[in-house]
Amino acid sequence: MERTEALAYRIRAQQLDRAMASRSFTDAEILDFGVQDTGRDGASWALANRGVPVTSAGELESCPDLALAWTLRSAPHFYRRDELPDVLVATSPFSEQDAARRVINAGKPLQEAGIRTLDGLAEVATQMREVVTKPMVKGDVSTALTAKLAAPYLRYCGSCRATHSWEIPFRLGALYAGLELEPGTSPPVLRRIPDWPKRAPGPADDPESAPQRLQPIRNYLRFLGPATPNHVAAFLDAPIAEIKAHWPEDAVQVSVDGRKGWLLSDHDKIDQVDRGAAGVRLLGGFDLFLQCKDRDLIVPDKSRHKQLWPVLGRPGAVLSGLELIGTWRPKAAGGTFTLRLDLWETNTKAVRERIEAEAERLAAHRGLTLAGIEQD
């Protein structure tokens, strides 16, 4: 497989080549993986770029068929509401070692106290379920939770100048407790998920009992393949041994310009791709296309990586056809929106016109008027 074929596969799998049309908010395939909602209109713009008829972040946030929860890497993701119980199962740790890796430093005090990380997550979820009986701001939940947890579950936070529960177990514990995030709230508001099935709070015992289309390892191969176990482990913050132990039996090895990778056996989307059909997309900084762990595949020039993936303040990326051709940042003032571009090469008039059209669409998505485009 050539590099361009791999890029075309991802674009097709993620529906970035899908024309804008009147469709349901829930028909985007990446909702199986979860749509990360980080940054201004992160999830709504990601869905709009995949043909979903969402005109603003507010419209997405008020959609009754979607729900927001902390899941993969403890980040907020949108899912189909009726699938949340299965999402909990699919995103649960595979083992004690996996759980300890996912909570990072929070696992050490639990282990020192003789508490399994899985049991610790269940305890946090149990107490959160008792605390959140009505919509509550995160800080209030944290205060009430701190009073109910023993010392191994707590840490002193220098920035807050207070002792409270560890952040990642708190976030992961929310869905394990049957809690969702109220979209559009800052600081976040947690609330009980309506009609949540009766179950003991905590992670599920067998993540592979979830429907296959919701399972994260399969979805990484499905949307970001060809990929290796190391790529998947890095994406999920999971031990490489666990990823290898749960590697899909129907994964097929391929070679991308001489490098090994795997795809699911039903990877027929390669043959369906029109390599010029993706057009131009202004991708948000945390768009799934940019979340891959083989960054040199989508941006071969490694000197561009720090610009596109800085530690803080990620820019958006300009996708033209199969290639990323630059970055963008927004500037809003007085009801107007200016797109600040840093393009890495000289582009044709047709590409520049399509960038302007996408900028108009992004400005409208934010309820603003496009004032212009500035190029660095």
Tens-digit pLDDT profile for residues 129-162: 999 999 999 999 999 999 999 999 999 887 777 8
Contact in structure between 182 and 138 (CB atoms under 8 Å): no
- Say if pTM beats, i.e. exceeds, 0.85: yes
- pLDDT of the residue at 161: 79
Q: Give the closest residue to 155 by CA, choosing from 133, 136, 135, 170.
A: 170
Whether pLDDT at 93 is above 80 = yes
pLDDT value of residue 217: 98
What is the predicted pLDDT for the residue at 278? 61
Between CA 262 and CA 252 the distance in angstroms is 5
Query: What's the pLDDT at 272?
Result: 54
pLDDT of 21 reads 63
Of 167-171, 268-272, 355-359, the range with the lowest mean pLDDT is 268-272
d(CA 277, CA 344): 21
The count of residues in the chain is 376
Is the pLDDT at 270 greater than 60? The verdict is: no
pLDDT at residue 198 greater than cutoff 80: yes
Q: How far apart are CA 316 and CA 308, in angstroms?
A: 8
Q: How high is the pLDDT of residue 177?
A: 98
Res 271 pLDDT > 70: no
Alpha-carbon gap, residue 76 to 205, rounded angstroms: 22
Q: Give the pLDDT band of residue 203 (cuts 50, 70, 90).
A: very high
Give percent above pLDDT 70 in the chain: 96
Tokens of 251: 């994964």
The shares of helix, strand and coil residues in the chain, as percent rounded to the nearest 5, are 40, 20, 35
| Range 274-286 average pLDDT | 80
**pLDDT value at position 159?**
77
Determine the average pLDDT of the residues in 115-131: 98
What three-state secondary structure class fits 30?
Answer: helix
CA-nearest of 79, 72, 77 to 42 is 77
Q: How far apart are CA 95 and CA 61, in angstroms?
A: 34
Mean pLDDT of 69-90: 98
For the chain, how many helices (H) and strands (E)?
Answer: 16, 15
In the numeric block, the tokens 């200016």 are attached to 338
| pLDDT classification of 359: cutoffs 50, 70, 90 | very high
Please state, in angstroms and rounded to a whole number, the distance separating the CA atoms of residues 252 and 1.
13
> Which of 52-66, 117-131, 162-176, 273-287 shows the lowest mean pLDDT across its residues?
273-287
What is the pLDDT of the chain when averaged over all its residues? 94
Q: Are 226 and 294 in contact (CB under 8 A)?
A: no
Cis preceding linkage at 229, omega within 30 = no
User: Mind listing the pLDDT tens digit for each residue in 8-28?
Assistant: 999 999 999 987 665 789 999
By CB neighbour count within 10 A (0-12 exposed, 13-18 middle, 19+ buried), where does 249 fall?
exposed
Q: In what order do the strands lie in the sheet with 369-375?
A: 280-283, 316-320, 323-333, 336-343, 369-375
Q: How far is CA 224 from CA 11, 92, 211, 241, 371, in A?
A: 9, 21, 19, 20, 35
Provide CB contacts within 8 A for 121, sequence distance 6+: 93, 99, 103, 169, 172, 173, 176, 202, 203
**Residue 139 has what pLDDT?**
95
Phi and psi of 135, rounded to 5°? -55, 130
Half-sphere exposure of 337 (CA within 13 A, CB side): 18
pLDDT at residue 315 tops 70: yes
The 8-class DSSP code of residue 315 comes to P
pLDDT band at residue 275 using 50, 70 and 90 as cut-offs: low
Locate 123 and state its tokens: 């305890």
The predicted pLDDT at position 273 comes to 52
The answer to whether 169 touches 120, Cβ cutoff 8 Å, is yes
